[in-house]
Amino acid sequence: MTLQLQDPSFAGGISSFVSPLNRSTRRPVIRAKAEPSDKSVEIMRKFSEQYARKSGTYFCVDKGVTSVKFYAGMIQINFKADYFMSFRPSTTGWNTKEHGLADHKDSLGAPLCPCRHYDDKPAEAGQGFWNCPCVPMRERKECHCMLFLTSDNDFAGPEQIISLEEIRESTANM
């Protein structure tokens, strides 16, 4: 197939081949449900409890918010103007989370923050800036993924502990 392009200032034509194979074909993506090891979930749970006590921060009043940070799963967090939070499984969207802290601990050797998009996760884990607790949390007590909340945060609960059973219950249907 030949395409003739004509420029009024140019008397000749420009030929180029247009391949029919250049069409974008979208194939379905199949994702296996991969869960982190119980050991990594327990390590991250204990670390989070200890860090919350040490930093004077608290877990979210909804323990499900805290739980999904540890566990693998695709979670989309929607914040609405009335401070209502809803969780729903998602496979698309810019804020899809595929892995939690424990899964990153298993696969990368470091608890890379689950609330960010990374072009190169191993490189980011090696750099350490976004490893939990991330630099913004350590420097300014700003946890953008809502794992560690200051007492003045509207979503902060009264607790600095979470049980393994609470984590399992909250993440059972993911």
Q: Please give the positions annotated as active site.
A: 115
Q: Which residues are CB-neighbours of 40 under 8 A, at least 6 positions away?
A: 102, 103, 105, 106
Distance of alpha carbon 163 from the chain centroid = 22
Number of residues that make up the chain: 174
Q: Are the C-beta atoms of residues 62 and 85 closer than 8 Å to each other?
A: yes
Q: Are the C-beta atoms of residues 151 and 120 closer than 8 Å to each other?
A: no
**Cα–Cα dist 24/20, whole Å:** 10
Give the amino acid at 26.
R
**Cα–Cα dist 25/167, whole Å:** 39
Q: Are the C-beta atoms of residues 71 and 41 closer than 8 Å to each other?
A: yes
